[in-house]
Amino acid sequence: MADIVLDGVSKRFDDGYEAVKDMDLEIKDGEFVILVGPSGCGKSTALRMIAGLEDITEGELRIGGDVVNQYAPKDRDVAMVFQNYALYPHMTVRENMAFPLKLGEVPKEEINPKVEDAAKILDLEQHLDRKPANLSGGQRQRVAMGRAIVRDPKAFLMDEPLSNLDAKLRVQMRTEVARLQKDLSTTTVYVTHDQTEAMTLGDRVAVMRSGVLQQVDTPAELYQRPRNLFVAGFIGSPAMNFMPAKLEGATVKLPFGDVRLTDEQRRALGDRDGDVIAGARPEAFEDAALVGEGRERGQTFKAKVDLVESMGSELYVYFPIESERLESKDLDELAADSGAADVPGSDVNQVVARLDPASKVQRGEEAEIWLDTTTVLFFDPQSGERLGAEQR
Amino acid sequence: MKRGTREYTLWSIGLFVILAASLIPVIWIASLSLKAPATIGEGGFFPTEWTFDNYESLFKGGLDSPLLRPLINSIVIALIATTIAIVLASFTAYAIARLEFPGKLLILGGALAIAMFPPISTVGPLFDMWRNLGLYDTYAGLIIPYLTFALPLAIYTLVAFFREIPFDLEEAAQVDGATPLQAFRKVIVPLAAPGMFTAAILVFIFCWNDFVFAISLTSSDASRTVPAALAFFTGESQFTAPTGNIAAAATLVTIPIIIFVLIFQRRIVAGLTAGAVKG
């Protein structure tokens, strides 16, 4: 067990492409850190550099205080779980899990008890003598985990370990991974492009974008106080709604109408005035008829409902807002990554609201919607930075 | 293809013709080898008088017999050449399949070019060189030219196999604590075993069947292999052709290859089709 420190780590490939740019990240002993970002953001490259499968172009990587830049993977004492599990097909489950121990020259009589222990933890005991080809996806995934935990390494590195499982199993294994990590309290770096996994698993989440670390924080911090438009748009599902806004003294002009800023909001914004981008989470909206206390915190407006999606426990209500399209590189990139840019009609400004299932809102009808304006965040349209992010 | 359709019938006939064309000469040789010298000119497909005399005379006299020494030479030379070729080719093929290095295309292209080279064009120079170097009429004198032709064959077969093995497996092995050599030996080689068998059999057959080098670069039983030795067979008297003996020896040297291929048939087929379908 050990801490992992990335100190100004960069990766430049031979063709000049810079996959990771000057990355600083401190992972404490026993901590569960998630690297998350859209595909091609450099998160996997960062993980592979920690594993030693990729050379570090610049900067320093320390595991447990030792600079390991020049160490071969085998000398770093880390275990990795691969996206496709990378089980050795010619070995049984038992041999697969014993492989790292054998290479580590663990005495023979110690190997079997260790493998059996790991198999017990992962509920693989009855499969020990089977070959990977005869296992289900979930079982293979557990064998891959078993191979990692069996030798009690300094750190676990996981590269999208759940992405090959079907949705239901993925949720199940997610809790399994979380429980395992808590029980073993081994430092873990986990790469995923799935923000739900990131939010539910990590002690801290590191959001990356085109090789640059955007923000490292607890899931709650990331959700409530994203540093910029990209983080705000990436974290949360359905995503945050963005709309043009204009700050004028103590009021802000939103497409829904003018809203008075709270003192706290105004203070955070400093003396900023003029055009900004406002962001509201879907749950900041509510059916006006259902808002009881705290109504004065928000703004009520009328909207024509395009679509109602019922999830049972909540309603997703889509309605258009009358405003110009937002011009922002961050938002374009997010849309491109999720594929939303290719969906027809995506250039219409649409807002998704998460309402209480008791709401009587109907598709095609005009509804009265309430927005909790105290939770609205403001971003600089040019830099994408959240206004007031520095002094929090 | 369904039984009873016209297509099925046509294919069956076609396959039968090809099979017959390739098998009848083999059966013919086997049949000749069982005919007594007096009846060899009869022309019947099956011997009227069955005899094993032709086989017996091949081994008469122990090590001085016409066939025993050449048979041992053939086996030893082919085995050594195959072993060396597979070991060297697996390293080369692995590097070609896995690494980006300057000159990679040159190596592949060079190997291919050498494999296409007509052996006869190298025999003359080799004959001269080997006599000067003392390699003439030695095992090494045959193994070296065999390697030059066997290696490209083995490299090409093995590259196709190594490309099939996911790179992740090797990375997993490295993170699990393996040195690159351990990862190669314990993970890659076992997985590429079918490919290695295929390559080994192809190389073995190539060495086993060679005549051009064997006849030109040997001069005595010290290193003469079976195909070359066949050419030196003599009849009972100088007026009888050793047809029966040659037929018997030819039948004998075919048998190990047939056994080999039958045993490893499934692996060879798997090997030749590897990469065709995503596993």
HSE toward the beta carbon, residue B62, CA cutoff 13 A: 1
> Are B177 and A103 in contact (CB < 8 Å)?
yes
Give A10 or B221, the one with higher predicted confidence. A10
> Are A53 and B177 in contact (CB < 8 Å)?
no
Whether B183 contacts chain A with CB within 8 A: no
Which chain B residues touch A80 with a CB distance below 8 Å? Answer: 171-172, 175
At A77 the pLDDT is 93
Listing DSSP states for A122-181 in one string gives TT-GGGTTS-GGGS-HHHHHHHHHHHHHTT--SEEEEESTTTTS-HHHHHHHHHHHHHHH
Angle at the Cα of A388 from the Cα atoms of A8 and A257, rounded to 5 degrees: 135
The mean pLDDT of B115-128, rounded to a whole number, is: 89
Judge whether A61 and A53 are in contact, CB under 8 Å.
no
Structure tokens at A364: 């095609």
Q: Which residue of B has its CA nearest to A86?
A: B169
At B49 the pLDDT is 79
Which tens digit of pLDDT belongs to each residue from B95-114? 998 888 888 889 888 888 88
Give A296 or B76, the one with higher predicted confidence. B76
> Are A53 and B171 in contact (CB < 8 Å)?
yes
d(CA A323, CA A312): 31
Which chain A residues touch B171 with a CB distance below 8 Å? Answer: 51, 53, 73, 80, 82, 86
d(CA A164, CA A141): 9
> Are B171 and A103 in contact (CB < 8 Å)?
no
At B278 the pLDDT is 34
Which chain B residues touch A90 with a CB distance below 8 Å? Answer: 190-191
3 state SS of A186: coil
**Positions in chain A whose pLDDT score sits under 50:** 391-392
The mean pLDDT of chain B is 86
Contacts of residue A238, Cβ cutoff 8 Å, sequence gap at least 6: A282, A316, A352, A354
> Are A78 and B186 in contact (CB < 8 Å)?
no
At A47 the pLDDT is 96
Statement: residue B44 has pLDDT above 80: no
- Report the run of H or E that residue A31 belongs to, with start and end: none
CA gyration radius for chain A?
A: 24
Contacts of residue A90, Cβ cutoff 8 Å, sequence gap at least 6: A131, B190, B191
d(CA A30, CA B17): 72
At B269 the pLDDT is 67
Structure tokens at A387: 């206004």
CA-closest candidate to residue A278, choices A349, A378, A352: A378
**pLDDT confidence tier of residue B277, bands split at 50, 70 and 90:** very low
List helix spans (H) across chain A: 43-51, 93-103, 108-121, 137-149, 167-184, 195-201, 219-224, 229-234, 263-269, 329-338
Structure tokens at A109: 């009589």
At B198 the pLDDT is 84
Which chain B residues touch A103 with a CB distance below 8 Å? Answer: 176-178, 182
d(CA A260, CA A276): 15
At B235 the pLDDT is 66
Statement: residue B275 has pLDDT above 70: no
At A383 the pLDDT is 86
Which chain A residues touch B183 with a CB distance below 8 Å? Answer: none
CB within 8 Å of chain B, chain A residues 111-170: 147, 151, 157
Whether A13 contacts chain B with CB within 8 A: no
> Are A74 and B179 in contact (CB < 8 Å)?
yes
Judge whether A219 and A226 are in contact, CB under 8 Å.
no
Contacts of residue B220, Cβ cutoff 8 Å, sequence gap at least 6: B137
Whether B167 contacts chain A with CB within 8 A: no
At B279 the pLDDT is 34
At A107 the pLDDT is 92
At A342 the pLDDT is 61
Give B194 or A346, the one with higher predicted confidence. B194
Whether B236 contacts chain A with CB within 8 A: no
Test mutation, B175, B181, B184, B191, chain A, max A CBs within 10 A: B175
d(CA B51, CA B71): 22
Structure tokens at A210: 């085109």
What is the DSSP code (8-state) at residue A202? -
Q: How many beta-carbon pairs below 8 A join chains A and B?
A: 56
**pLDDT confidence tier of residue B168, bands split at 50, 70 and 90:** confident
HSE toward the beta carbon, residue A193, CA cutoff 13 A: 13
Give the Cβ contact number of residue B113 at 10 Å. 10
At B264 the pLDDT is 76
Judge whether A127 and A139 are in contact, CB under 8 Å.
yes
Q: Which residue of B has its CA nearest to A99?
A: B176
> Are A86 and B172 in contact (CB < 8 Å)?
yes
**Which of B175, B178, B182 lies nearest to residue A79, judging by beta carbons?**
B175
Contacts of residue B278, Cβ cutoff 8 Å, sequence gap at least 6: none
Category of A388 on φ-ψ map: left (φ > 0), alpha (ψ -120 to 50) or beta: left
Whether B148 contacts chain A with CB within 8 A: no
Structure tokens at A338: 């999720």
Judge whether A38 and A191 are in contact, CB under 8 Å.
no
Which tens digit of pLDDT belongs to each residue from A184-216? 999 999 999 988 899 999 999 999 999 999 999
Q: Torsion angle, CA of A152/A156/A160/A165, rounded to 10 degrees?
A: 20
Test mutation, B165, B176, B184, B185, chain A, max A CBs within 10 A: B176
Contacts of residue A125, Cβ cutoff 8 Å, sequence gap at least 6: A116, A119
**pLDDT confidence tier of residue B134, bands split at 50, 70 and 90:** very high
**Which of A78, A84, A90 lies nearest to residue B191, judging by beta carbons?**
A90
Structure tokens at A106: 């663990």
d(CA A41, CA A210): 4
List helix spans (H) across chain B: 6-33, 53-59, 68-98, 104-116, 120-133, 139-164, 167-175, 180-183, 189-209, 212-216, 226-230, 243-273
CA-closest candidate to residue A123, choices A189, A180, A170, A171: A180
Q: Which residues pair with A81 in a beta bridge?
A: A158
d(CA B232, CA B242): 10
> Are B171 and A104 in contact (CB < 8 Å)?
no
d(CA A101, CA B249): 54
**Which of A73, A84, A88 lies nearest to residue B175, judging by beta carbons?**
A73
> Are A147 and B176 in contact (CB < 8 Å)?
yes
Statement: residue B256 has pLDDT above 90: no
